[in-house]
Amino acid sequence: MSSDEIQVKKDMDNMYRWTRHIYDLTRKYYLLGRDELIKHLDIKDGENICEVGCGTARNLIKIASKYPNANYYGLDASDEMLKTAHINLGNAGAIDKIMLKQAYSQSFKPDELFNLSKPLDKIVFSYALSIIPPWKESIDHALELMPSGGEIHIVDFSSQDDLPKPFSKFVFWWLKMFHVYYKPEIMEYLISLESSGKGSLDVTYMYKKYAYRAVFRKN
């Protein structure tokens, strides 16, 4: 574990030590588009699906319920957040369906972490890249892990250009308090990956550009 990863874990544990208890209750009002992402995953039987920055496992539980015949894995930098995630798995009867581990988006090794014998087919980033400092490295790592045809599914904050300026200004100010930032460079990088022949990109903007849903399919 690098010094940067140790610091990230410390920061995440400090931030979520108490807020994890009300995370799902409060986040549902502004982490919009997560269910749209789940709806469009189109998971096939037997596929390996991993959510990076799985948090409370809210998404994974919903995904496993909608697509019950695949294999599910999640990782998060925060052990504190994973405490709540494991409680939620127990409450949902999903402990045997979803495996969770503490790890880092830019360096995790699925074969070692989850004892996998075949690669991940889909990797999900749900409002994760906007809080992950090494977001570029995380995208690159996800692509390296998947075979041709593998997909990265992303939902995150967009420019909010079509919303009233006072509203978007307040949202971005509020997010900054939690070390979350709108990063236009993420979309720019995804476009550059497509231009360089690494894969194909499909983007849908939602709620007047409050958020976007992106799918990058590896060539």
CATH number of the domain that residue 150 is part of: 3.40.50.150
Return the structure tokens found at 198. 């690494």
**Assign residue 146 a region: left if phi > 0, alpha if psi is -120 to 50, beta otherwise?**
beta
Label residues 190-208 b or e (16+ Cβ within 10 Å = b): beebbeeebbebeeebeee
Task: Tell me the C-alpha distance between 98 and 74, whole Å.
Answer: 7
The residue type at 217 = R
Task: Tell me the C-alpha distance between 109 and 107, whole Å.
Answer: 7
Contact 37, 211 (CB under 8 A): no
From first CA to last CA, the distance across the chain in angstroms is 31
Total structural domains within the chain: 1
Q: Which of 14-18, 74-78, 129-133, 201-205 ranks highest by mean pLDDT?
A: 201-205
Helix, strand, or coil (residue 19): helix
Contact 206, 156 (CB under 8 A): no
- Quote the pLDDT of residue 11: 54
For the residues 119-147, what does the mean pLDDT come to?
Answer: 96
Choice among 2-6, 28-32, 142-146 with the minimum mean pLDDT: 2-6
- Quote the pLDDT of residue 16: 53
- Counts of helices then strands in the chain (DSSP H, E): 9, 7
Given the structure tokens 């014998």, which residue do they identify? 117
pLDDT in tens, 141-164: 999 999 999 999 999 999 888 888
Task: Tell me the C-alpha distance between 100 and 102, whole Å.
Answer: 7
Higher pLDDT: 4 or 206? It is: 206
Task: Tell me the C-alpha distance between 186 and 156, whole Å.
Answer: 10
Helices 3-19 and 79-92 pack at an angle, to 10 degrees, of 50
Structural domain boundaries, residue 101? 3-218
Task: Tell me the C-alpha distance between 119 and 150, whole Å.
Answer: 9
Choice among 25-34, 119-128, 145-154 with the minimum mean pLDDT: 25-34
